Amino acid sequence: MSDKPQVQEAFDKAQSQGHPVPSGETVFVTARDGYQILANVRGNSDGQPIIVLHGGPGAGPSEADEKLFDYSKYRVISITQRECIQYRGLCDSYRDPALENLPDDEKLVALTRKLDAIRNITFDDLITDIEDVRRHVLGENQKVSVMGSSWGGPLAAFYA
């Protein structure tokens, strides 16, 4: 018999109840190609560092993922991937207040540009971004654990 139902049940419970997500530090990291990567750093600065990679592409960080960690033991670095929808309002064509008053055809043009930008992002770009954030937050030689959900899973596996 498979342990999968028990594992899924434990995961679902952790996400629904989970640990409180503390406020933290928002950092911007300039990637090697000049792109600004947003990351949120929370938890114990002396704790085991872990990078959390969200689903997508184009989605954004999930508080459900971040509730999995005991912040007294971990230093959680949640990276917001390039051009994602939930870029905390900083590069968000979909929710940009400046677009609210535009006619629908102009909004469509802006959203099409956003999709084109997402299509041009390579897997290597995202992996390089993870490494650039790790170096910026933790230093050159600090080891880190990586966890990804959905699209972030393959990114985590490839990065590791």
What pLDDT shows up at residue 2? 58
The mean pLDDT values, 10 residues at a time, for the chain of 160 residues are 65 69 87 87 95 80 82 93 60 52 73 69 91 95 91 91
Cα three-residue angle 48-67-94, rounded to 5 degrees: 110
Scanning the structure block, which residue is given the tokens 């930008």?
A: 117
pLDDT of residue 14: 63
The CA distance from 27 to 63, in Å, is 18
Q: What is the structure's pLDDT at 87? A: 46
Which letter does DSSP use for residue 98 in this model?
Answer: G
How far apart, in Å, are the Cα atoms of 84 and each of 75, 94, 127, 139?
23, 10, 15, 26
d(CA 44, CA 57): 29
Please count the structural domains in the chain: 1
pTM of the model: 0.72
- Residue 86: count other Cβ atoms within 10 Å of its Cβ: 18
Q: Determine the pLDDT at residue 145.
A: 95
- The total of other beta-carbon atoms located within 10 Å of residue 139's CB is 8
Domain ranges, residue 130: 4-159
Residue 22: alpha-carbon gap to chain centroid: 16
- Look up the CATH number of the domain holding residue 59: 3.40.50.1820
| Sheet strands side by side (includes 36-43) | 25-30, 36-43, 74-80, 48-53, 145-148
Judge residue 37's burial from the number of C-beta atoms within 10 Å of its C-beta, 0-12 exposed, 13-18 middle, 19 or more buried.
buried
